[in-house]
A and B are shown apart, each in its own frame.
Chain A
Amino acid sequence: METTLGQNLGDTHHDHGPASGIGRWLFTTNHKDIGTLYLWFSLLMFLTGGTMALLIRAELFQPGLQLVQPEFFNQMTTMHGLIMVFGAVMPAFVGLANWLVPMMIGAPDMALPRMNNWSFWILPFAFAMMISTLFMEGGAPNFGWTFYAPLSTTYAPPSVTFFIFAVHMMGISSIMGAINVIATILNLRAPGMTMMKLPLFVWSWLITAFLLIAVMPVLAGVVTMMLMDIHFGTSFFNAAGGGDPVLFQHVFWFFGHPEVYIMILPAFGIISEIIPTFARKRLFGYASMVYAIASIAILSFLVWAHHMFTVGLPLAGELFFMFATMLIAVPTGVKVFNWVATMFRGSLTFETPMLFALAFVVLFTIGGFSGLMLAIAPADFQYHDTYFVVAHFHYVLVPGAIFSIMAATYFWLPKWTGHMINERMGKIHFWLSFVGVNITFFPMHFVGLAGMPRRIPDYALQFADFNSVASVGAFIFGFSQLLFLYNVIACIRGGARATDRVWEGAHGLEWTLPSPAPYHSFSQPPVVK
């Protein structure tokens, strides 16, 4: 994409930098500041949720009960899932969108900067409230991140009400973030930046934002129904009053399945930016990538009951949801094909972001294939609620979503800080993470197929070896993330100066800005040819 800047960036006499002190962060409406806040918050949540994961893996290192009580174990699985989904992955993508979308489309800021500030600052309060339940009488929510009724209503600890309001707040935050992204992309594109010239990260976020607007209100609805069942005597999910617990699962997964694509579509966008850069070729099949993302998003509304094959669906329902689910493999396959075709005969180099992107392609595909196995309704009766499911969704979320976020961080960090990352440290972080992830999650396929149930603090003796291997891997992966923290801080504090373009093969408006990107960029829109 050839661009010219319509403005001499040095000539900013009316420009003002950030305010000083804590007020800069509390009252900021600058998309770069808010992006930074989101990213730091998500890293904090990632380490918090990761600590909980390590507690889980430490307990599962050996059969029998060693470290924690089963009640606390349940709270850990629940909080780990909630924090990672709503606190780590989603805010990280919103943070990346804040930083990158305006710079990629030549906009001076997000379209609704004050709302942007608000949507971030809700989050710390939501999570403070949710995490505070750990210290309440009766303990934190213990019903799993899917909070199936009646576990989350009739049998829930009293802290469930705090959980419900925390989810409401996260939902409001996500919806406001999504509205902002859509308004920015639709209304603030630089002249000449037509829709089919948008970078794929922007496209993937536009579609994700529409998914968020469609399903976060449904999540708000389902927790509101829980709230009314618990406190106001309604019977949405209570059979004694004419309700139905299975209804909960339908409404939840109507939200839940698009939600899992909310956590992976921006990752597709990131990978589609990184691979062409380090293959030094244009992305293969740009238009088909856009259509693939859109069709995945549409299909995501038609497959929710594949999470519920064992609740007693009629045969016609099982078949419909089985085939609709398998259909998603087609656009996903198109994407993987395009990434591979982009690399084909490219001049590949393997800097840290590219390593993470390559690992994403391979490991996400493995997770996709185990997803196809789970989509087979008759087979799912065997796999349902086993560690095979745990292995599947961790393969798509950890080396999928999380690796893409790390790839994005290493890729754009020089643009944000003005310093190159330390490649050697980046590579050490990558290899430890890559090896750790596979040691952790690959054995879970085996114990799952052999029948080990998920969310149970103890297990039968025959699963002991693979579980101890998985726990060792988890500690390798977990502690190697401290290297990530180190790398980010080191890159902020210093390092080789980054050029404006940073990477030899980089294309896109953000690379025409100086490194580090000035506090206010594209005050005059660039002209995109």
Chain B
Amino acid sequence: MDELGRKNRRLVIRLLAGCVLMFGFGFALVPLYDVFCRVTGLNGKVTNTGPVAIEDADISRSVRVQFLGVNNEGMPWEFRPLDESVRVHPGEMRQIAFFARNPTSRRMIAQAIPSVAPAEAAQYLHKVNCFCFDSQSLASQEQVEMPVLFVIDKKLPEHIHTLTLSYTLFDITPEAPDGQALASETRRSPL
């Protein structure tokens, strides 16, 4: 192996390392994308969850919050909000509920994924408690009312008068051999 052979070898190793790095970067884009959306509040992903300090409501203005319940393709459940919209003051804690019913003849597990429009408002919608934190398991013909407890942050920009909280319901029933899902497999959602 002469001088040229060594030079070629060194270069090829570096370029291959570059390839491996870029392959990894492709996968790194997945968490980077999530972090980016979380930091900027883009994509309507709700990130403010959990307990909140109780404050006085800002009664000088009120905001209309609309609710939407949508089934993902192939999801047979009945799924809708009990109230289509409510008016709240920023800082005021409010509970609403969604209705779900499993019309099939088998137990199913569902996961609701929230989204807020406009995306700019997502970071000001604080969910204290939400059925979307967990997956929902319903037996055949069972129905349930599922609560959402939320607060609109008082720092919500003045120009936002209406925001929409939308849930898409996904069928995540594991493919059990007998078609029966186990209720104990209820998983904690990543949100």
Contact = CB atoms under 8 A, between A and B. Distances in A.
A175 interface: yes
B25 A213 contact: no
B11 A186 contact: yes
A240 B12 contact: no
Contact of A220 (B23, B40, B168): B23
B8 A246 contact: no
Given A179-B16, A213-B19, A239 B113 contact: yes
Interface string A213-257: 111111111100100000000001001111010110011001100
Interface in A86-117: 111-112
B51 interface: no
A215 B119 contact: no
B72 A239 contact: yes
Contact of A214 (B16, B18, B189): B18
B30 A240 contact: no
Interface residues of A, number: 36
A255 B27 CA distance: 13
A220 B119 contact: no
Interface in A322-373: none
B170 A239 contact: yes
B99 to A, nearest CB: 20
Interface in B134-178: 168, 170-172
A219 B171 CA distance: 30
Contacts of A250: 29, 33
Contact of B8 (A111, A221, A222, A244): A111
A522 to B, nearest CB: 14
Contact of A225 (B27, B72, B168): B27
Contacts of B171: 240
B113 A187 contact: no
A23 interface: no
A182 interface: yes
A175 B191 CA distance: 39
Greatest chain B CB density within 10 A among A215, A216, A239 is at A239
Nearest to A314: B42
Contacts of B30: 225, 236, 247, 251
Given A112-B8, A183-B8, A213-B18, A221 B23 contact: yes
Nearest to A209: B15
A10 interface: no
B26 A214 contact: no
Contact of A179 (B12, B43, B111): B12
B26 A218 contact: yes
B119 A314 contact: yes
A247 B15 CA distance: 27
A21 interface: no
A17 interface: no
Interface in A192-215: 213-215
Contact of A183 (B12, B72, B190, B191): B12
A112 B12 contact: yes
A236 B11 CA distance: 34
A218 B22 contact: yes
Interface of B: 4, 7-8, 11-12, 15-16, 18-23, 25-27, 29-30, 33, 40, 42-43, 72, 111, 113, 119-120, 168, 170-172, 189-191
25 contacts: A112-B12, A179-B16, A182-B15, A183-B8, A183-B11, A187-B7, A187-B8, A214-B18, A217-B20, A217-B22, A218-B23, A218-B29, A221-B23, A236-B30, A239-B72, A239-B170, A240-B170, A240-B172, A241-B172, A242-B189, A244-B33, A246-B43, A247-B30, A254-B29, A312-B119
Interface of A: 111-112, 175, 178-179, 182-183, 186-188, 213-222, 225, 236, 239-242, 244, 246-247, 250-251, 254-255, 312, 314, 317
